[in-house]
Amino acid sequence: MKADEQKWTTAEKFLQKARKLEPENENINKSLASVLAWRGDEAYRLNDLKKARADFEKALRYDPQNSKLKIMLSQIVYRMEGSTQEANGLLEEGLKGNPDESFREQKMQFFREMEIEKQTREIRHGNWILRFQEDLMGVDPKRIFDLIQEVSDFVGEDFEYWIKHRLVFVLVDQMKFEQIHSGPDWAAALNDGRIKIPFSSGLENEKQFKAVLAHEYTHSVINDLSAGYPVPFWFHEGLARYEEDRIRGVSLYDSRYFLNLAQVYKSQSYLPFEILNDPLAAEKIPPSFVPLAYEQSLSFVLYIKDKFRFYPLLSFLKNI
């Protein structure tokens, strides 16, 4: 993304100079808005919502009637804010502009998410925001906030970092999770700026719930420490799996947790590193190869940790 960001930034500077000469030139203003939107979209896909929001808000100043920009910004605001009110307003304005058909699925996915989340109950505790279906069995907000804090402390000790900004957790049943799901089909939970977890069995298996929390919360920590710059899939998922397994209390070196890796060992038919190094690999890996991708990712993280300790992993994040 660094190369692309530099490309868009260079284009923005060029168009800003042109705009100084002709501030009312509609073509220049719309071109400037497009450049900012492209850069904002890349930041959005990499979960840097703060940077994405700034670019889309800036783009709308140059092209205030652009429906697509309003709908995209509404999604970013929705993921960042506890309330859906501002996001709703932007979405309604965008829908009035009748964006083209190619934008329809993205628009409808977002609309489904907002409609479901408007029906949830919201409780806040410090910077944590919990939203959950009223009819879900076994939701104990106090206990869930305690578990979130335990996970925050647990992961924080490794990363020497504790999230201080607002973070939203959404609990819904499996059917509604599939409706608000914007990630790959195989994902058991989702972190798209908000942590979304299917909550069909309540807190009967508290350790399992904490493990899922630890995995998704680790993604948020990584996004913060990398300041939104693209982090390789193996690094993101390897560290998330590392924290998940530690909180489960399983042995990270037990061969039972590397069955897929063992199967490809003799044939050396691993997933190519080029694939696992892609920050957007989750969208490209076939579902049948996902378990292997996670095991390989964890094995990379364990190798670095065992050979150099945990500090180089933190150093990589902070200097990316």
Percent of the chain with pLDDT over 90: 33
Q: Looking at the structure, do residues 155 and 250 belong to the same domain, yes or no?
A: yes
- Mean model confidence pLDDT for the chain: 85
pLDDT (tens digit per residue) in 209-258: 999 999 999 999 998 888 767 889 999 999 999 999 999 988 888 877 88
Given a cut of 80, whether residue 103 has pLDDT beyond it is no
Confidence class of residue 298 from pLDDT cuts 50, 70 and 90? very high
CA dist 200 to 112, 137, 174, 270, 295, Å? Answer: 20, 8, 6, 35, 27
113, 140: one domain: no
Do residues 29 and 145 share a domain? Answer: no
Query: Structural domain tally of the chain?
Result: 2
CATH classification of the domain holding 113: 1.25.40.10
Domain holding 95, by residue range, is 2-120
Give the domain CATH number at 209.
1.10.390.10
pLDDT digit string, tens, across residues 244-264: 999 998 888 887 788 888 888
Mean pLDDT, residues 290-319: 87
Whether residue 196 sits in one domain with residue 95? no
148-205: per-residue pLDDT in tens? Answer: 999 999 999 999 999 988 888 999 988 888 887 766 778 889 888 889 999 876 677 8
| pLDDT tier at 146, thresholds 50, 70, 90 | very high
Non-local CB neighbours of 113 within 8 Å, separated by 6+ positions: 78, 179, 180, 182
Average pLDDT over residues 39-55: 82
164 lies in the same domain as 211: yes
Kindly state the average pLDDT of the residues 125-142: 89
Per-residue confidence band for 3, with pLDDT thresholds at 50, 70 and 90: very low
Say whether both 145 and 291 belong to one domain. Answer: yes
pLDDT score, position 155: 95
In this structure, are 59 and 196 located in the same domain?
no
How confident is the model at residue 242, as a pLDDT?
A: 94
Structure confidence at residue 93 (pLDDT): 79
What is this structure's pTM?
0.74
162 shares a domain with 100: no
Q: Which of these three, 95, 120, 145, is where a domain ends?
A: 120
Please indicate, yes or no, whether residues 178 and 115 belong to a single structural domain of this protein. Answer: no
Please report which confidence band the pLDDT of residue 82 belongs to, taking 50, 70 and 90 as the band edges: low
Both 116 and 135 in one domain: the answer is: no
Domain C-terminal end among 120, 146, 180: 120
Are residues 157 and 269 part of one domain? yes
pLDDT band of 83, cuts 50, 70, 90: low
Domain boundary among 120, 144, 160: 120
Q: By mean pLDDT, which of 67-81, 91-105, 233-247, 300-314 is the weakest? A: 91-105
> 236 with 87, same domain?
no
